[in-house]
Structure 1
């Protein structure tokens, strides 16, 4: 079996100076950090390229136009696979995710490289109540669609994916290119037999004066999530007999 090789993959779109803090924090914890600039117009592409010129551990990939988080991640996955990497830890560029836990997540993935290691968010008082309640709904649907495969959280983007498996999932259908990427990725990987391993991780919701930037739009993105779960449920009904058989036989992703 090929030894696992891990990198940190950060999709970024118009997060301003906060992306530099995120990248430096990631580099302090891991030796290979890649950023995919998803058509940003805030000047951070140029700033990140300057950082990469000073630090060979950092690589910057550019998309000329904004195509969405999933599209940015997929670009990075293809490039990483071509370089011989087997796993990617994705994290947001806006400072919400705990860079100090990168080694912990990488170790868990290295110990069980056939799994996906998912962050399970631990919220503090900064978390908007509407967002917390909304993700509970999404998590309920996700566990139904996977027949209780054990996904702790469907939306938290701090997680380690097996690269080849995720590319195979994404190339098989035209969705998973925008905000809906995180949820659909874990459902389809579970269908493919990739077991979820859940690890607690804090999440920060930064205020504007702290440099926080959010591109989440309640109306638009909730419509997108609803459409995604509708599609997944229809496909789940077709997959249900096979999933039920796997569960009874404790086959992936239902193995201990």
Structure 2
């Protein structure tokens, strides 16, 4: 397994230094995608590139959305010859102490998609929590499976060969809907999923770029495309379930 890290960044300056310093201890390449951040955040990212030899900075001139930033990072990592990419967000929500567990799980199951199954504390906003459940229902319907426990956690390990194949086969929602859409499409391709429980917090100085109207519309469009795709694949998906595949 040739693994690397992928970090999508859009105006998340607070945890970048500490996160990169922590990741540098794994002695793995760190692909950071600057998704059109402002001058302050861009300056920090370029300083980190100079400070840490593991950092490979890829930059979007304008903001294209988290989903597109992840796509850019995954394809970049694959083109460099890496087999797996651990995505971790830069907003301070994820438990960095679980990184080794995610990497070990991927090494033991190299063909599987490793996804974080969040354990929330009291800091989680109630509206965000209820919205996640609505998304989970659509994911279960569109995948005809309960194997994906949480489709929105940005703490995960992608098997890059299978993932890039799927990325090249469809047009994806470039913002918040991507996290769920890629998992459903990987499930359609019979990729195995392993859910890893992990603590997720919403820090007081956390920055969210979730736009209620734009991102809910984007996710609705993504789920609509997935539903149509599920109906088209329904005979095959049902046959696989009957066969226990």
Q: Same fold (TM over 0.5)?
A: yes
Say whether the 8 Å CA contact 2:13–2:44 is kept in structure 1.
no
Q: Of the candidates 115, 136, 140, which is equivalent to residue 139 of structure 1?
A: 136
Q: Could you say which residue in structure 2 is the equivalent of 1:254?
A: none
Residue by residue over 1:38-58, the C-alpha shift from the partner in whole angstroms, topping out at 9 and shown as x without a partner, is 010142222222222222122
Q: Could you say which residue in structure 1 is the equivalent of 2:122?
A: 125
Aligned residues: 245
Structure 1 portions without partners, runs of 5+: 252-256
Q: Which 4+ stretches in 1 moved above 6 angstroms? A: none
Q: Of the candidates 230, 235, 239, which is equivalent to residue 236 of structure 1?
A: 230
Structure 2 portions without partners, runs of 5+: none
Say whether the 8 Å CA contact 2:111–2:192 is kept in structure 1.
yes
Q: Could you say which residue in structure 1 is the equivalent of 2:185?
A: 188
Residue 74 in structure 1 maps to residue 71 in structure 2: yes
Q: Could you say which residue in structure 1 is the equivalent of 2:176?
A: 179
Structure 1 position 27, deviation (Å): 2.5
Say whether the 8 Å CA contact 1:149–1:196 is kept in structure 2.
no
CA distance in 2, matches of 1:142, 1:226: 12
Higher mean displacement: 121-130 or 64-73: 64-73
Residue 21 in structure 1 maps to residue 15 in structure 2: no
Structure 1 position 149, deviation (Å): 4.9
CA distance in 1, matches of 2:198, 2:149: 11
Say which SS state the counterpart of residue 88 (structure 1) adopts.
Answer: strand
CA distance in 2, matches of 1:160, 1:30: 17
CA distance in 2, matches of 1:25, 1:216: 26
Q: Of the candidates 223, 227, 233, which is equivalent to residue 217 of structure 2?
A: 223
Say which SS state the counterpart of residue 43 (structure 1) adopts.
Answer: helix
CA distance in 2, matches of 1:15, 1:31: 22
CA distance in 1, matches of 2:136, 2:27: 30
Structure 1 position 206, deviation (Å): 1.5
Give the alignment's TM-score, normalised by structure 1. 0.91
Give the alignment's TM-score, normalised by structure 2. 0.95
Residue by residue over 1:73-102, the C-alpha shift from the partner in whole angstroms, topping out at 9 and shown as x without a partner, is 222222211221011111111111112111
CA distance in 1, matches of 2:17, 2:233: 43
Q: Could you say which residue in structure 2 is the equivalent of 1:83?
A: 80
RMSD: 1.5
CA distance in 1, matches of 2:221, 2:80: 35
Q: Could you say which residue in structure 2 is the equivalent of 1:203?
A: 200
